[in-house]
Amino acid sequence: MSGPSLGLAQDVEEEVRSFMTQRDQEIKDAVRGMKTDPSLREVARSLINDQIDFEEMGKRSLGRYYEDLTPEERQEFIEVFGGIVRSQSLGDLSVYEAPVSIESVAINGDQATVNTTAEIREDELDVVYHLHRKEESWWLYDIVIDGVGTVEGYSVSFQTFLRKRGFEAFMQSLRKKLAATED
């Protein structure tokens, strides 16, 4: 790659780097602020979740089962699944307070992979973010921490449940889990 296309790729890489750096700093600021101002809890939750593409994450988690769902079933699944992920996002605040360094950014069309290192409780963890461009913005759809991916983790349990018990039982289980997190 040379000339204009190399410059364009570098611009996109810088755009992704900037997005990740700004997002990280905003989350850190809100999480720190929560300690003195509990009203910032919802601000922090929004900052953590608002650039996650729950539709893409859910679609990848369900794999082939996603295609079998009606549009209404897909919508309900994404709403409930997104609600569960949102409610759990403030479980371990040390993850968001950890120093993070971006090691590399790889762009492939409308997809990006950002490799980072986070220092959490004196351990260095490799954290890989998978993003895609949607509606002129970058959206996260998978986070892989030390080789364990969010999508992969959900995928194994979701697909096993769907195969054994079917969609309605699966949704009933997710609704119950969401209700328990909202208490």
Residue 27 · residue 96 · CB < 8 Å: yes
Top-confidence residue, 147 or 112: 112
Q: What is the pLDDT of residue 143?
A: 93
Residue written as token pair 């963890």: 125
Give the list of residues 6+ apart from residue 43 with CB closer than 8 angstroms, or none.
30, 33
Give the list of residues 6+ apart from residue 60 with CB closer than 8 angstroms, or none.
141, 142, 151, 155
Q: What is the pLDDT of residues 102-135, one digit of tens each?
A: 999 999 999 999 999 998 878 899 999 999 999 8
Residue 60 · residue 150 · CB < 8 Å: no
Q: How far apart are CA 1 and CA 7, in angstroms?
A: 9
Work out the pLDDT band at 3, boundaries 50, 70, 90.
very low
Q: What average pLDDT score do residues 52-74 get? A: 96
57 pLDDT exceeds 60?
A: yes
Q: What is the pLDDT of residue 97?
A: 86
Q: What average pLDDT score do residues 49-75 get? A: 96
Q: What is the pLDDT of residues 39-48, one digit of tens each?
A: 888 888 899 9
6 pLDDT exceeds 60?
A: no
Does this model's pTM top 0.85? My answer is yes
Q: What is the pLDDT of residues 65-106, one digit of tens each?
A: 999 999 999 999 999 999 999 988 888 777 788 899 999 999
| Strands of 148-149's sheet in order across | 100-108, 111-120, 123-134, 137-145, 148-149
Q: How far apart are CA 80 and CA 85, in angstroms?
A: 9
Collect contacts of 63-66 with beta carbons under 8 A, ≥24 apart: 63/155, 63/159, 65/158, 65/159, 65/162, 65/167
